[in-house]
Chains A and B, each alone.
Chain A
Amino acid sequence: MFNFLKNKRLFMLMVGFLVLIVLIGLTIGGREKITWPERFLKDTVGFVQQLIYRPAGAIAGFFQDISQLNEVYKENEQFRMMAAAYARDKVEYNFLKSENERLMKELEFKIHQEQMYDYKYMIAQVISVNNDANNRTININLGSKHGVEKNMAVVTSDGLVGIVNSVSAFYASVTPYTELSTTSTTFNAISATVMGKETESFGILSDYDTEQERLIMSKIGEEDPMVQGDIVITSGLGNIYPRGLRIGEIESLKVGDFGLTYVAEIKPFANLNKLTEVFVVAAPSYDEEEETTP
């Protein structure tokens, strides 16, 4: 029995364990850039996976469409109502936009301040999903060649999906919101507010409760006007993540651990299963030179 733990084997196990600890230590947390062998591997594997994921998704989507055919009429009606509402709002929006631009000119905004919220939405295809329950990384087919950078937000038409974690030349990995955690170094907390009360509400999305499948928003002030059912959006404070991205709906609001602040549970809008198309949100970049010569 004890030749199972022969000296040589035990020694190799120890060495292996040391290698594991060192590897984890080196790679845990936010690395700014991944090394070139990793980028190379990501690009080659990504290329092949792209060829599989998209046709599979198309076929699966086709069958799903057939089974949901009778819901089309209902959906169509909803869309019509939404289109009417959109046309109404669009007129008002144009007025407000031109007014806003005029005021910005008069107040002599710097170029980067004016363009601060001109986000560019880049459409990307999902190419693969990690098969690890605790790390559901999603790979997409946009990379640094297309202007994707670390920490860019990724959304679907429903809501926030996650944050770009590492980028190779043609592909990028996205860390989904399920990995949000105060103790993690890979995912910064996201500052959030609620729709309609943008200036009065504030909270920090800090955790994800895996058992309840809910996002946790903490540090909500006592006088905060947010109530159950409000739609949570990113606030853009902190200037890492763009503002105005839909996240989810407040499901419950209760007093936090120390009784000074409130904690809200949020049901996220975006479903992470069977994603096909996502948008990478790029904030406009500006040069320092532009700033000095307005």
Chain B
Amino acid sequence: MSMNRIVLLMLAIFLVEGSLIPWLIPDSYGDRIIPHFTFVIVIFSALYGSRHQALFLGMGFGLLQDVIYYGHMIGPHFFFMGLIGYLVGVVLERKKTTLLLAISVVGFACLAYDSALYFVYSVFKFTNGSYPWALIQYILPSLFLQLVFTLCIYVPVRKMFEKRMRSAESSEEL
């Protein structure tokens, strides 16, 4: 039951980050601050849910993004959202994760995600900027947006995932 709610929430965030968030970002930063909110939720599900949950959520919403905004190719978001979510889950799943740790993990995960996407696009020559330039131009500025978003949603989303995990465990015991 709760899983439905998680997916619904992520769907809402996915819709909003493509249509509402661009309006909230100042004009001159329009192509520099780029929201990756669904990805942040995937990391949350890895930290406070399970790694498999993160893998499937990441793959699902990555694929959704690839399809909806089909431009060059389908695959990068699908693969890296799932993979990074899973790796975070492998390392930190069910450890006691504090706010500070969660924020730093989200930060590093976003860096890894953006860098991985950059390298995929540069392997296929869809981008001609250098990596240091990309880092300064959009990876670091958007990192701040992701961290602020993490701070805002930390408490409710953590509760949501932990509740879901508890109910899953108790149903297993029964």
Within 8 A of A (CB), among B110-159: 114, 117-118, 120-121, 124-130, 133-134, 137-139, 142
Q: How many A-B residue pairs have CB under 8 A?
A: 157
CA distance A183 to B15 in the complex (A): 31
Assembled-state Cα–Cα distance A28/B121 (Å): 11
Which chain A residues lie closer than 8 Å to B133 at the CB level?
Answer: 210-211
* Residues of chain B within 8 A of A272, CB atoms compared: 30-31
Residue from A13, A56, A137 within 8 A of B69 (CB atoms): A137
Residue A53 interfacial (CB < 8 Å): yes
Stretch at the interface among B2-10, B17-25, B93-101: B17-25
Cβ proximity bits B33-63 to A, threshold 8 Å, 1 near / 0 not: 0111000000000000000000000000000
A16 within 8 Å of B (CB atoms): yes
Measured CB to CB, the closest approach of chain B to A88, in angstroms, equals 35
- Which residues from chain B contact A16 at a C-beta distance below 8 Å? 79, 82-83
Q: A24-B73, A27-B75, A130-B71 are in contact. Are A52 and B20 (CB under 8 A)?
A: yes
Q: Is the CB of B15 within 8 A of A179?
A: no
- B70 and A132 form a contact (CB under 8 A): no
* Nearest CB of chain B from residue A217's CB, rounded to whole Å: 16
Interface status of A134 (Cβ within 8 A of chain B)? yes
Q: Smallest Cβ distance from A215 to chain B, in angstroms?
A: 13
Spot the interface stretch: A42-50, A116-124, A277-285: A42-50
* B107 contacts chain A at the CB level, 8 A cutoff: no
Q: Are A173 and B22 in contact (CB under 8 A)?
A: no
Beta-carbon contact of B75 and A20 below 8 Å: yes
A207 at the interface (CB under 8 A from B): yes
Other-chain contact of B70, A26, A134, A166 (Cβ < 8 Å): A166
From 104 to 145 in chain A, residues with beta carbon under 8 angstroms from any chain B beta carbon are 127-137, 139
- Given A184-B125, A184-B126; A273-B67 close (CB under 8 Å): no
Question: Smallest CB–CB gap between A207 and chain B, Å?
Answer: 7
Neighbouring A residues of B23 by C-beta, 8 Å? 53, 56-57, 59-60, 274
- Quick check: is A237 within 8 A (CB to CB) of the other chain? no
- Do the beta carbons of B31 and A186 come within 8 Å of each other? no
A95 on the B face (CB < 8 A): no
**Residue-wise interface mask of A (78-100) relative to B, using a CB-CB cutoff of 8 A (1 in contact, 0 not):** 00000000000000000000000
CB distance from B65 to the nearest CB of A (A): 8
Query: Does B16 make an interface contact (CB < 8 A)?
Result: yes
A131 contacts which of B35, B79, B126 (Cβ < 8 Å)?
A: B35
- Per the 8 Å Cβ criterion, residues 134-190 of A in contact with B are 134-137, 139, 165-166, 173, 175, 178-179, 181, 183-184, 186
Instruction: Please determine whether A136 and B75 come into contact, CB atoms closer than 8 angstroms.
Output: no
| Residues of A with C-beta under 8 A to B69 | 128, 130, 132, 135, 137, 139, 173
CB distance from B79 to the nearest CB of A (A): 4
Known interface pairs A133-B134, A165-B70; A24-B19 also in contact (CB < 8 Å): no
CB-CB contacts of A4-30 with B at 8 A, as 1s and 0s?
Answer: 100000000100110110011011100
A134 and B19 in contact (CB under 8 A), knowing A27-B73, A27-B74?
no
A24-B124 contact given A179-B71, A273-B22, A274-B22, CB 8 Å threshold: yes
Complex CA distance for A52 and B20, rounded to whole angstroms: 6
Residues of A within 8 A of B67 (CB): 37-38, 41-42
Chain A residues whose CB sits within 8 angstroms of the CB of B90 once the complex forms: 4
Per-position binary interface string of chain B over residues 66-95, scored 1 when its CB falls under 8 Å from any chain A CB and 0 otherwise = 011111111111110011000000100000
Q: Is the CB of A49 within 8 A of B19?
A: yes
Query: Are A137 and B71 in touch, CB under 8 angstroms?
Result: yes
A291 interface hit (Cβ, 8 Å):
no
CB of A122 to closest CB in B, whole Å: 21
Beyond the given pairs A53-B19, A210-B128, 17 more chain A to chain B contacts, judged by CB atoms under 8 angstroms and listed by A's residue number, are: A13-B83, A19-B75, A20-B79, A23-B73, A24-B73, A28-B73, A56-B23, A128-B68, A132-B117, A133-B118, A133-B134, A184-B125, A186-B71, A186-B72, A272-B30, A273-B27, A274-B22
**Interface, chain A (partner B; CB < 8 A):** 4, 13, 16-17, 19-20, 23-24, 26-28, 34, 37-38, 41-42, 45-46, 48-50, 52-53, 56-57, 59-60, 127-137, 139, 165-166, 173, 175, 178-179, 181, 183-184, 186, 207-211, 272-274
Q: Can you list 10 pairs linking A and B with CB atoms under 8 Å apart?
A: A46-B68, A49-B19, A130-B71, A131-B21, A134-B117, A135-B121, A136-B31, A139-B69, A274-B22, A274-B23
